[in-house]
Amino acid sequence: MITRGIKHEVDRFVNDMQAQYFPYEWNGQKMAVQLAMRPIQLWEVVFPEDQLQNVMATVETGELPKQWKSKQKYLSVLRKVLGAKKLPKLDPNAIKRLVYKTNIQTALIGYREDAKADKDGHECL
């Protein structure tokens, strides 16, 4: 499924969908299970170029979650479509910042360097 629309309207749709329960039988017991709405979102993360390793360490451990390893070819295609480069190997000394990631899977696709700079040659974040 793909959605597109005004954010608060999409949020309402998702909330209404999450309110739906369906019959389910498990180990001989009948119960109702909530419809699970799991967004897959594409993000552009902008940061100073020299902080790539620290961002990589913060977002993930450097390896794809095992559930996504079989999807590596899809991430490679997406990287190509987005014009991104393959990420370098994660530096074990990179600083991993503490961010809430419970119940969230992340996978970095690649990176692109800032093609534009100001008149002094600084990155344009």
**Secondary structure string (H, E, C) spanning the chain:** CCCCCCHHHHHHHHHHHHCCEEEEEECCEEEEEECCCCCCCCCCCCCCHHHHHHHHHHHCCCCCCHHHHHHHHHHHHHHHHCCCECCCCCCCCCCCCCCCCCCCCCCCCCECCCCCECCCCCECC
The type of residue at 51 is Q
Ranges of residues in the chain whose predicted pLDDT is under 50? none
Query: pLDDT at position 18, please?
Result: 94
pLDDT in tens, 85-110: 999 999 999 999 998 887 777 888 99
pTM exceeding 0.75: no
Separation between Cα atoms, residue 78 and residue 17, nearest integer Å: 28
Q: Token pair of 41, please?
A: 């979102």
Tell me the β-bridge partners of 23: 32
Query: pLDDT at position 65, please?
Result: 63
